[in-house]
Amino acid sequence: MSNLNNKLKLLFLASLALSLAACNTNTKSEQKKQEKPTVKNINIPVFNADTAYMFIEKQLSFGPRVPNTKAHRECGDWLATTLKRFNATVTEQRTKLRAFDGTMLDARNIIGSYNPDSPSRVLLCAHWDSRPWADHDPDMGNRKKPVPAANDGASGVAVLLEIARQMSISNPGLGVDIIFFDAEDYGEPQDMQGAYENAWALGSQYWAANPHIPGYSARFGILLDMVGAKDAVFTQEQISRYYAPNILKKVWSAADRLGYGNFFVNKNSGPITDDHTYINEITRIPTIDIIDYQDDREKGFFDYWHTINDDIDNISKETLKAVGQTVISVVYEAA
């Protein structure tokens, strides 16, 4: 009888010791976590998708921002003024660029800098021009019309303008350069595809060869292209994976942590010639492209790509929020 009692007591003491030990290791690992946090305890602004949406509407109000048009000149002026209003130091590169068909384009790369004297910098960019021809429109009668470019152009600019507005309220604590590239979308129409080399991304090619500050560098770059469509899917594009695998991981894991893993998927895609291609090749600043593209889609890009239906009706605030909150988090966490 007493033997059984002793055995029970022993069993009880043993299990108590075990649970205390378990408790102890828990406390230790908790302490470790507090000593070396994986995410810095800094104030990351809340990205406002309503404001970003309004910045798309504003760009559309000028009309298609096709180089050498009034809409393009007026929108360019508004972009420079707006960056200044958000306390950026604004630099403009104005230059003539030769398009594939010989047209000379009056091009403007518009740059807004925060903490311009900081040696630790990140680069955020998007193209602001609209494609002159809706050459992927299903209706032949629309193919010579310009693209409204709500998603393919205005969305990336709008997300960056909202990030600029947030940076004017709360300093990010490191150098940030926002570049709006011109003449990205003046490449040859689809029936001449492959006949010209380097016909796309003329503004970024110019900037990469002639940076606004001689010898300019940044720790990394993020390009936003078509970041506003309903049902957008951002895959891990090949040039981004090749030149900037760590940045890609950083951005995708931030998106996942914030609950946007449905937009930023763990799926590879082939190479896209875009502004980041030339930034990577020429400046060697490791730069990724956040782009709505999947290899197995009919056009690869979103349904209304290079059609006259790339307008505000296809824009989703949820998508803008996912991209904007992810990018602003990565920027503030890099400080």
User: Whole-angstrom Cα distance, residue 238 to residue 294?
Assistant: 11
Sketch the per residue contact string, 253 through 282, with ligand AHN: x for CB under 6 A, - otherwise. Answer: -------------------xxx--------
Cα 279–chain centre separation: 14
Nearer to ligand AHN, 135 or 177 (CB): 135
Contact call for residue 237 and ligand AHN (CB under 6 A): no
> Shortest gap between Cβ of 40 and ligand AHN (angstroms)?
33
Contact call for residue 129 and Zn ion (CB under 5 A): no
Tell me phi and psi for residue 254, to 5 degrees: -65, -45
289 binds, among ligand AHN, Zn ion, none (CB under 5 to 8 A by kind): none
Contact call for residue 162 and ligand AHN (CB under 6 A): no
- Three-class SS state of 1: coil
Contact between 102 and 198 under an 8 Å Cβ cutoff? The reply is no
DSSP H or E run through 183: none
Residue ranges with strand state E in 270-323: 287-291
Contact call for residue 234 and ligand AHN (CB under 6 A): no
User: What distances in angstroms separate CA 259 from CA 111, 163, 256, 335, one per listed residue?
Assistant: 31, 19, 5, 22
> Shortest gap between Cβ of 182 and ligand AHN (angstroms)?
13
Nearer to ligand AHN, 162 or 225 (CB): 225
Binding span for Zn ion by CB under 5 A among 18-26, 107-115, 178-186, 285-293: 178-186
Nearer to ligand AHN, 152 or 182 (CB): 152
Half-sphere exposure of residue 11: CA atoms within 13 angstroms, side-chain side: 6
User: Whole-angstrom Cα distance, residue 81 to residue 108?
Assistant: 14
**Token pair recorded at residue 123:** 């680069």
Burial 136-152 (b: 16+ CB within 10 A, else e): bbeeeebbebbbbbbbb
Report angle CA 235, 217, 113 to the nearest 5 degrees. 85
Nearer to ligand AHN, 123 or 272 (CB): 272
User: What distances in angstroms separate CA 218 from CA 5, 41, 79, 87, 209, one per listed residue?
Assistant: 72, 24, 23, 20, 15
Contact call for residue 289 and ligand AHN (CB under 6 A): no
Total residues binding Zn ion (CB under 5 A)? 3
Nearer to Zn ion, 108 or 136 (CB): 136
Among 152, 182, 237, 310, binds ligand AHN (CB under 6 A): 152
Contact call for residue 152 and Zn ion (CB under 5 A): yes
Contacts to Zn ion from residues 213-242, by CB under 5 A: none
Contacts to ligand AHN from residues 48-67, by CB under 6 A: none
User: Whole-angstrom Cα distance, residue 124 to residue 288?
Assistant: 10
User: Whole-angstrom Cα distance, residue 184 to residue 188?
Assistant: 11
Contact call for residue 135 and ligand AHN (CB under 6 A): no
Contact call for residue 185 and Zn ion (CB under 5 A): yes
Among 185, 237, 292, 310, binds ligand AHN (CB under 6 A): 185
Contacts to ligand AHN from residues 198-227, by CB under 6 A: 200, 225
Contact call for residue 274 and Zn ion (CB under 5 A): no
Binding span for Zn ion by CB under 5 A among 24-32, 104-112, 145-153, 163-171: 145-153
> What are the residues binding ligand AHN (CB under 6 A)?
152, 185, 200, 225, 272-274
> What are the residues binding Zn ion (CB under 5 A)?
131, 152, 185
